[in-house]
Each structure stands twice: as structure tokens, then as C-alpha cells.
Amino acid sequence: MIITILSLGFLFGVILQFAKLNKFNTISGLALFENFAVAKAILVAIGVGAILVNVEIGLGFASYHTKPILMGGIMIGGLIFGIGMAILGYCPGTLPVSLGEGSLDALVGILGGLVAGLLYTILLPSIHGILGPDFGNITLKSSLRRAYLSVLCICYLHFRFFYRSLILDTWAGENQRFKMAFCRNRIGNP
């Protein structure tokens, strides 16, 4: 099992490095709506991962372990995640890949993430109040109450993720033309 996990992790790193998804320009390009390689990779990973997880669950090899929804925690965590990603220029999955390439700034990010996780674990009892109300474990299946509806929704979402990942380059080109036309009209016609 450990060899399988290490092999898949190594393959994941090779794919990230080959696609240059661990480069600052690629990740910052997403924030500037100039490079959608990261978004496409994420959408494909979500689509493939969701399909594989559902197949594993259907075959009895896995089960869902959902976490409760704490809105305050999600908002605070998202802000911290976004700030860290903007400062470092890496997302957590690309940090080990960049460290393997020899980028020492990735080591700072990894150590910072480990220290932050330790602090969160230690401080959790005292900060539980700011994490917001506990909305419980909400899943698509529990929200729809019908198994076939959740399967249809999941299939629809999978295909939407694949579709969006395939058309993002076209959309990026159209977005660039829109931005250039908008700027030209604003600057040229005061």
C-alpha cells in the first residue's frame, strides 16, 4: 500500500512538473485571468476524482467521511489559504514538487503550513466560537433525499467540470479580446 501511495505521489509530481503547474507565473496567471492551466487541471482532477471515488464507494472499497460545515472556519481558512498562496506563489500540492526541484522558498511554505496546522490543533478549543455555527454534515445525497437525483446531479457536475476544463482556453481568448476592447473604448473615448 505504501509503495502504491508513493508511486501515485511521484506520478502526480511528475505531471505537475511537466505541465509547469508549480511555477509562480502559471499560478499568478490564474489570479490575473491570463493562464488557465491550473484551473483546467483542477477541474479535470475534480471530475476524474469524483467519478473514481463514486466507483470505489459503489464497489464497497471506500465510504464517505464528511466533515461538518463551519462557515466561519471556511471563510477564515479560505482567507489564510489565499493570502499564503498569493505570497508564496504555490498551492499546497505544488510545494513538494517545487521543493524537489530545489526551490527553498517552497520549504518555507511547507514549514509554515506544518506550524500553522500545529497551532490550529493547539488553539482549536479556544477559537471554536469564531468558527461559526455547525451546520452538520451536508452532502448532495442528503440534500436531495433521493438517490437517483444525487447520481444524476453528480453525473451532470462531472460532465460540466470536464466541459469547462476543455473550453477554458477558448474562454480565456474571448476574455482577453473583451478586456482589450473594453480598455481601448475607455481610453480611446473618454
On whether the CB atoms of residues 164 and 43 are closer than 8 A, the answer is: yes
User: Are the beta carbons of 98 and 90 closer than 8 angstroms?
Assistant: yes
- Model's pTM, two decimal places? 0.61
Q: pLDDT tens digit string along 121-130?
A: 898 888 877 8
Over residues 64-100, the pLDDT tens digits come to 788 888 888 888 888 888 888 878 888 888 888 888 8
Following CA atoms 37, 42, 47, 51 in sequence, which dihedral angle do they give, to the nearest 10 degrees?
130
Domain boundaries, the chain: 15-66+147-179, 67-138
Average pLDDT over residues 150-169: 69
* 161: its cell numbers: 467540470
3-state class (DSSP) for residue 70: strand
Q: Give a three-class secondary structure readout of 92-121.
A: CCCHHHHHHHCCHHHHHHHHHHHHHHHHHH
Instruction: Give me the phi and psi of 139, to 5 degrees please.
Output: -125, 165
pLDDT-derived band at 150 (thresholds 50, 70, 90) equals low
Say which amino acid occupies 169: D
- Kindly state the greatest CA–CA separation across the chain: 65
Q: Is 89 within 8 Å of 24 (Cβ atoms)?
A: yes
Give the C-alpha separation, 135 to 73, whole Å: 12
Q: What's 190's DSSP letter?
A: -
CA 130 to chain centre: 24
